[in-house]
Amino acid sequence: GDDDTGDDDTGDDDDEETAVSDCLPDPSCTPCGSDAYESNNTCQVATDMGSGLFMGDGSVTICPSCDEDWFERTIAADSTYALLLSFDRSEGDLRAQLYDSQVPPNLLAESVADGVGGAALVHTATATETLRLRVFIPPEQDLNGDAGNAYSIVVADTEIALP
């Protein structure tokens, strides 16, 4: 079928092209700033967080609001993936979604907001897997327009309590 990828829709790789485009950002979105982890705007170029405790360097931003940040980490079976985001809620409520690395990717978990500038997410792996995290501002939650929203990110292998 026609999937707007510009190809002739007859090749065997059509499903993969469609799935890959599912995690691409808005092509009309030009990030207004660069943080230490750019250009992590798609799942294909997600920032590798390594293992153990990962703490963002304080420069991480979703800017403008159409920007997305992607991070990835491989975890072992029965391991915990715990995320804590902190941000200025007056600039917009950030959200996070955790996906597997399948094509197309499967949504595994979504962040829960605390209503005061924090969001958390926890996932326990059933097998060794590479997980991809998407951080974004839903359009209806954007309160700062093109200025976006800076945030801090912590990922650990044990559950993190919201402050």
- What tens digit of pLDDT does each residue of 69-87 get? 999 999 999 999 999 999 9
Element containing residue 87 per DSSP (H, E): strand 80-87
Please give the average per-residue pLDDT across 11-32, as a whole number: 59
- Percent of the chain scoring above 70 in pLDDT: 83
pLDDT digit string, tens, across residues 124-142: 999 999 999 999 988 888 7
Report how far residue 163's alpha carbon sits from residue 143's, in angstroms, rounded to the nearest whole number: 23
Report how far residue 8's alpha carbon sits from residue 4's, in angstroms, rounded to the nearest whole number: 10
Report how far residue 86's alpha carbon sits from residue 154's, in angstroms, rounded to the nearest whole number: 9
Report how far residue 48's alpha carbon sits from residue 149's, in angstroms, rounded to the nearest whole number: 22
At residue 47 the predicted structure's pLDDT band, cuts being 50, 70 and 90, is very high
At residue 120 the predicted structure's pLDDT band, cuts being 50, 70 and 90, is very high
| 54 beta partners | 155
State the pLDDT at residue 10. 44
Residue 17 has pLDDT above 70, yes or no: no
Residue 18 has pLDDT above 80, yes or no: no
At residue 49 the predicted structure's pLDDT band, cuts being 50, 70 and 90, is very high
With beta carbons less than 8 A apart as the criterion, state whether 93 and 139 touch. no
Q: Output the six-digit token pair for 73.
A: 């980490």
Report how far residue 64's alpha carbon sits from residue 145's, in angstroms, rounded to the nearest whole number: 7
Alpha-helix runs per DSSP H in the chain: 14-21
Q: What is the mean pLDDT of the chain?
A: 82
Please give the average per-residue pLDDT across 38-48, as a whole number: 88
In the chain, where the domains are located: 14-156
- CATH fold for the domain made of 14-156: Jelly Rolls (2.60.120)
With beta carbons less than 8 A apart as the criterion, state whether 92 and 137 touch. yes
With beta carbons less than 8 A apart as the criterion, state whether 85 and 112 touch. no
